[in-house]
C-alpha cells in the first residue's frame, strides 16, 4: 500500500510548510486522498495509470516506453485505433499486462520559455482531462507521472506547482469527489525532493 500524505507527515517524511509560503490553508481529507510514490508507475495496481505520451500515441521513450513494454503489444494495437491525441488532451485504453486496469494517455506540452503561460495551461489541462476521463468511468484510484518534465523539458519545479494545484482543484470539485486517491509518481531522487518540498504548500497539515 502506497502511504498517504497524512501517513507521510506522521512518519516525519514530509515536513510541514512554512506558513508564509502556503498556497492553501486547509487540506482536510485531501491528506488521505493523495500519495507520493517513488518507483516505476508500471508497478502500481490502480484503476488507471497516466502515460506521458506523444501525439501519435504509438509509444516513445521514458515513461511511455516503460508502459508499452510492460503492457505488451496489444496496447499498441488499441492505440492505433485512437488516431492520436491533441496536446493537453487525454484518451483511455485498457491496461493489458499491467497490474493497472486502464491507461490514460495524455500529451503534455513541449516546454518553451517564451510560451511558459501557454505551456502551464496545457499541462494543467493534461491533469484535468485525465481526471475527467477517470471520473467519467468511475475510476477511483489514479497515478500520475511528472508529465512533460523528461524529454519535453518542462522545469520540474514549475511543473510540480501546476500538477499539485490542478489535482487539488479537481479533487475538491463536485466531479472530483468520487476520486478516492491520486498517487504522484516520481522516478528520480531529485524529483522526489522537489515533490516533498512543494506538496505541503498545497496539502498542508492542518
DSSP 8-state secondary structure symbol assigned to residue 13: S
Q: Which of residues 52-91 bind ligand ADP (CB under 6 A)?
A: 52, 62-64, 66
Neighbours of 188 (CB within 10 A): 13
Q: Distance (Å, rounded) from C-alpha 128 to C-alpha 12?
A: 30
Is position 165 an interface residue for ligand ADP (rule: CB under 6 A)? no
Q: Distance (Å, rounded) from C-alpha 88 to C-alpha 121?
A: 8
- How far apart are CB 93 and ligand ADP at their closest, in Å? 17
The only residue of 88, 95, 150, 200 in contact with ligand ADP, by rule CB under 6 A: 150
Q: Distance (Å, rounded) from C-alpha 42 to C-alpha 51?
A: 10
Could you tell me which of 140, 146, 141 has the C-alpha nearest to residue 127?
146
- How far apart are CB 102 and ligand ADP at their closest, in Å? 16
Is position 17 an interface residue for ligand ADP (rule: CB under 6 A)? no
- How far apart are CB 6 and ligand ADP at their closest, in Å? 23
Is position 41 an interface residue for ligand ADP (rule: CB under 6 A)? yes
Contacts of 117 (CB under 8 A, 6+ apart): none
Is position 95 an interface residue for ligand ADP (rule: CB under 6 A)? no
Q: Which residues bind ligand ADP (CB under 6 A)?
A: 40-42, 52, 62-64, 66, 108, 145-152, 185, 187-188, 191
Amino acid at each position: 500500500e502506497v502511504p498517504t500524505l497524512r501517513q507521510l507527515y506522521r512518519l516525519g517524511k514530509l515536513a510541514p510548510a512554512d506558513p508564509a509560503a502556503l498556497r492553501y490553508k486547509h487540506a482536510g481529507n485531501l491528506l488521505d486522498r493523495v500519495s507520493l510514490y517513488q518507483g516505476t508507475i508500471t508497478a502500481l495496481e490502480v484503476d488507471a495509470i497516466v502515460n506521458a505520451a506523444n501525439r501519435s500515441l504509438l509509444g516513445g521513450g521514458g515513461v511511455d516506453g516503460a508502459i508499452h513494454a510492460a503492457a505488451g503489444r496489444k496496447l499498441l494495437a488499441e492505440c492505433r485505433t485512437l488516431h492520436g491525441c491533441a496536446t493537453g488532451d487525454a484518451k483511455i485504453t485498457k491496461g493489458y499486462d499491467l497490474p493497472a486496469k486502464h491507461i490514460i494517455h495524455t500529451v503534455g506540452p513541449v516546454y518553451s520559455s517564451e510560451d511558459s503561460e501557454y505551456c502551464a495551461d496545457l499541462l494543467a489541462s493534461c491533469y484535468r482531462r485525465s481526471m475527467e476521463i477517470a471520473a467519467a468511468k468511475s475510476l477511483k484510484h489514479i497515478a500520475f507521472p511528472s508529465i512533460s518534465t523528461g524529454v519535453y523539458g518542462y522545469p520540474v519545479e514549475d511543473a510540480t506547482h501546476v500538477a499539485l494545484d490542478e489535482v487539488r482543484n479537481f479533487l475538491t470539485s463536485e466531479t472530483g469527489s468520487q476520486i478516492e486517491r491520486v498517487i504522484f509518481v516520481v522516478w528520480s531522487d531529485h524529483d522526489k525532493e522537489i515533490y516533498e518540498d512543494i506538496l505541503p504548500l498545497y496539502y498542508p497539515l492542518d
